[in-house]
């Protein structure tokens, strides 16, 4: 049968006596009355079912059992101190887990910069980065799988807080043999009647990427896609065109594709987002860091 677990206070009393070998000095050290200390030690010995100290009128010394138990008591008290410190660090955002969602924003130069800066500023916080495709423009905030996210509005932001940190041009992706492929820029009217790619996702997001506010004719859907790779493949094979932010277009070489700026449509905003009312320090510090001058500003990663 395992003895009842000692209380933290009992461990502190035992260690004070074990390290001073004097009940008077031990009581002064931990600021309790000597009689209270003696009673607490006697109760601990009864609980453990062995004597911790040999006491005479002139001396106090540890018993053999007390010597054997001493390192365990020290380790238990140190673990309790570590737990208390960890709780304090978590409470103020210096430790714990922060889940960061990236909603097709990993190619931005700000993304690795802010992740590195946050990790350096808060080494006790484990930062878990999660990538989300076109199906979730909120970067995991809607599903609760992220605590904070770098996202591309507009989309349904009910229950979320967004802080815009910049924007970037939108480019049309075309097959390399498309009639407009050699152009340096195009206007929306030149591509409006083309078949477009469509994604089963947030309708506000789709409307923005289809430039619905400028359309004079009904959207023609040439291909239905679920991922960015689906969109790129559809454009490369001529099944449908679509728009991409500049950072994704420039992130790597895309064989068989060209990307041309569309000069008369609004740019793609980028924002840092969290759930409304989430006041956890780790979340708020990440949001504040992304918004700092010199950290924010949206360009493609080199």
Instruction: Give the domain CATH number at 86.
Output: 1.10.10.10
Which pLDDT score is estimated for 79? Answer: 87
Could you give the CA distance from residue 31 to residue 37 in angstroms, rounded to a whole number? Answer: 10
Q: End of a domain among 76, 91, 106?
A: 91
Pairing of strands 125-132, 96-103: parallel
Confirm whether 117 is domain-assigned.
Answer: yes
Check whether residue 80 and residue 16 sit in a common domain.
Answer: yes
Confirm whether 273 is domain-assigned.
Answer: yes
Confirm whether 12 is domain-assigned.
Answer: yes
Contacts of 59 by beta carbon, 8 Å cutoff, 6+ apart = 21
Which pLDDT score is estimated for 57? Answer: 80
Check whether residue 195 and residue 241 sit in a common domain.
Answer: yes
Check whether residue 85 and residue 160 sit in a common domain.
Answer: no
Q: End of a domain among 42, 69, 91?
A: 91
Which pLDDT score is estimated for 96? Answer: 81
Confirm whether 300 is domain-assigned.
Answer: no
Check whether residue 72 and residue 127 sit in a common domain.
Answer: no
Pairing of strands 268-275, 96-103: unpaired
Could you give the CA distance from residue 207 to residue 143 in angstroms, rounded to a whole number? Answer: 22
Could you give the CA distance from residue 188 to residue 39 in angstroms, rounded to a whole number? Answer: 86
Claim: this prediction has a pTM higher than 0.95: no
Confirm whether 275 is domain-assigned.
Answer: yes
Task: Look up residue 280 and give its two tokens.
Answer: 């956890």
Check whether residue 115 and residue 151 sit in a common domain.
Answer: yes
Task: Look up residue 64 and give its two tokens.
Answer: 């053999």
Range of the domain at 220: 170-266
Which pLDDT score is estimated for 94? Answer: 60
Check whether residue 208 and residue 253 sit in a common domain.
Answer: yes
Which pLDDT score is estimated for 71? Answer: 93
Instruction: Give the domain CATH number at 184.
Output: 3.40.190.10
Q: End of a domain among 91, 122, 146?
A: 91
Confirm whether 301 is domain-assigned.
Answer: no
Confirm whether 2 is domain-assigned.
Answer: no
Check whether residue 40 and residue 69 sit in a common domain.
Answer: yes
**Structural domain tally of the chain?**
3
Check whether residue 80 and residue 221 sit in a common domain.
Answer: no
Which pLDDT score is estimated for 300? Answer: 52
Which pLDDT score is estimated for 124? Answer: 86
Check whether residue 286 and residue 154 sit in a common domain.
Answer: yes
Per-residue pLDDT for the chain (302 aa), expressed as one digit of tens each? 455 788 899 999 999 999 999 999 999 999 999 999 999 999 999 999 999 999 888 899 999 999 999 999 999 988 888 777 777 766 766 658 899 999 999 999 999 999 999 999 989 899 999 999 899 999 999 999 999 999 999 999 999 999 999 999 999 999 999 999 999 999 999 999 999 999 999 999 999 999 999 999 999 999 999 899 999 999 999 999 999 999 999 988 889 999 999 999 999 999 999 999 999 989 999 999 998 876 666 655 54
Check whether residue 191 and residue 251 sit in a common domain.
Answer: yes
Confirm whether 118 is domain-assigned.
Answer: yes
């Amino acid at each position: 049968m395992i003895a009842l677990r000692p209380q933290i206070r009992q461990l502190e009393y035992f260690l004070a006596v074990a390290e001073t070998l004097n009940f008077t000095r031990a009581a002064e050290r931990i600021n309790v009355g000597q009689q209270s200390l003696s009673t607490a030690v006697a109760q601990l010995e009864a609980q453990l079912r062995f004597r911790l100290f040999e006491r005479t009128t002139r001396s106090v010394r540890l018993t053999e059992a007390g010597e054997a138990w001493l390192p365990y008591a020290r380790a238990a008290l140190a673990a309790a101190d570590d737990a208390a410190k960890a709780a304090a660090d978590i409470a103020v955002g210096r430790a714990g887990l922060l889940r960061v969602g990236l909603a097709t924003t990993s190619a931005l130069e700000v993304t690795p910069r802010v992740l590195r800066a946050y990790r350096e500023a808060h080494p006790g916080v484990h930062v878990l980065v999660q990538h989300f495709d076109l199906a979730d423009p909120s970067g995991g905030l809607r599903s609760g799988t992220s605590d904070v996210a770098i996202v591309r509005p507009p989309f349904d932001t009910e229950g979320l807080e967004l802080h815009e940190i910049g924007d970037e041009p939108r480019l049309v992706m075309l097959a390399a043999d498309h009639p407009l492929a050699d152009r340096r820029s195009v206007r929306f009217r030149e591509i409006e009647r083309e078949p477009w790619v469509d994604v089963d996702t947030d309708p506000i997001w789709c409307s923005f990427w289809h430039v619905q506010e400028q359309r004079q004719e009904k959207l023609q859907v040439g291909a239905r896609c679920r991922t960015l790779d689906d969109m790129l493949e559809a454009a490369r094979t001529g099944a449908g065109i679509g728009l991409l932010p500049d950072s994704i277009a420039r992130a790597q070489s895309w064989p068989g594709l060209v990307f041309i700026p569309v000069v008369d449509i609004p740019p793609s905003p980028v924002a840092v987002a969290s759930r409304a009312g989430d006041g956890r320090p780790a979340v708020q510090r990440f949001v504040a860091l992304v918004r700092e001058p010199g950290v924010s500003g949206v360009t493609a990663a080199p």
